[in-house]
Amino acid sequence: AQSVTQLDSHVSVSEGTPVLLRCNYSSSYSPSLFWYVQHPNKGLQLLLKYTSAATLVKGINGFEAEFKKSETSFHLTKPSAHMSDAAEYFCVVADQTGANNLFFGTGTRLTVIP
Amino acid sequence: DAGVTQSPTHLIKTRGQQVTLRCSPISGHKSVSWYQQVLGQGPQFIFQYYEKEERGRGNFPDRFSARQFPNYSSELNVNALLLGDSALYLCASTLSGGPFYEQYFGPGTRLTVT
């Protein structure tokens, strides 16, 4: 079975400082992992995805994530937070047993302080 | 190109009633998935349809049903509504039915059951 655990329900950073959102995964297969962002009253947007190519994945808006198999982690980072980054972030693992369904974490709310 | 569209945007129903939610996928996409997002939680997989056939079903009661039409649009039906069905219902479309295709989410339908 696949699952993800987001280690922080809420992260608060100052504008211009680094962002770190933590995620651990559990998967019986070589996982497909994603980070999605959800702004208030907007749909989910894909930030980046890992599908067993390079372990360091670059996404949109300056975000990147590193797949670490030894630590079963897929943490999301950004060097410098912007006010527009304030949103809910979801770490996601894909079901690879047949259907194309996604298993979402519980989410991390990122607050950016001016 | 138009993204995934969902209707209605908001809906208020009474316990025991039935509701139908609609989704139109991105042009050319043949697979549609439905997710339920309860306030404060990550989305949970309900159904996946590909080429008008059910490909996967999450852990939801039989009160939930769905179908996909020849034009690949989809409807989600929920019977005998309970207060706990209040949630944001998200539709996602994918080019194909396999586990490695990116899912594109619509803005969702917010259902309130009173």
* Phi, psi of A60, rounded to the nearest 5 degrees: -85, 160
Tell me the C-alpha distance between A16 and A34, whole Å: 24
Closest in B50, B55, B103 to A102, CB measured: B103
Closest in B3, B99, B104 to A95, CB measured: B99
Token pair for A14: 């100052």
Interface residue of A44, A52, A91 to substitute, partner B, most B CBs within 10 Å: A44
Tell me the C-alpha distance between B12 and A67, whole Å: 42
Nearest-CA distance from B80 to chain A in Å? 25
Task: Please indicate whether, in this complex, the C-beta atoms of A102 and B90 are within 8 angstroms of each other.
Answer: no
Tell me what pLDDT residue A99 has.
63
Tell me what pLDDT residue A11 has.
98
Residue A1, pLDDT > 80, answer no
Tell me what pLDDT residue A29 has.
77
Task: Quick: pLDDT tens for A15-70.
Answer: 999 999 999 999 877 788 999 999 987 789 999 999 877 889 999 999 999 999 99
Closest in A41, A100, A104 to B42, CB measured: A104
Match 């949630």 to its residue by tokens: B87
Residue numbers of chain B with a pLDDT score lower than 50: none
Residue A95, pLDDT > 90, answer no
Please report the number of interchain residue pairs, chain A to chain B, with beta-carbon separation below 8 angstroms: 74
How crowded is the C-beta side of B35, counted as CA atoms within 13 Å? 25
Nearest-CA distance from A107 to chain B in Å? 6
